[in-house]
Amino acid sequence: MLKIALTILVVVSFVMLMFLLRQSKRMLNEVQKQNAALPKKPRERELHPKLKQDQDK
């Protein structure tokens, strides 16, 4: 009886793990699609403060 209960517990845990893995993969794909749809804005390049000082001199 104990072996059967443990086997069922392992199977249920494995099924739950697969379900959660599928959900996380789906959510990740949604976020990646949203990020790909957004226009990319290049940031201004900033010089390191010491290099700025050298450039100003």
Q: What's at 44, amino acid-wise?
A: E
| CA–centroid distance for 47 within its chain | 30
pLDDT at 45: 86
Give just the sign of the alpha carbon dihedral 11, 15, 20, 21.
positive
pLDDT less than 70: residues of the chain: 57
pLDDT at 53: 85
pLDDT at 9: 98
pLDDT at 46: 87
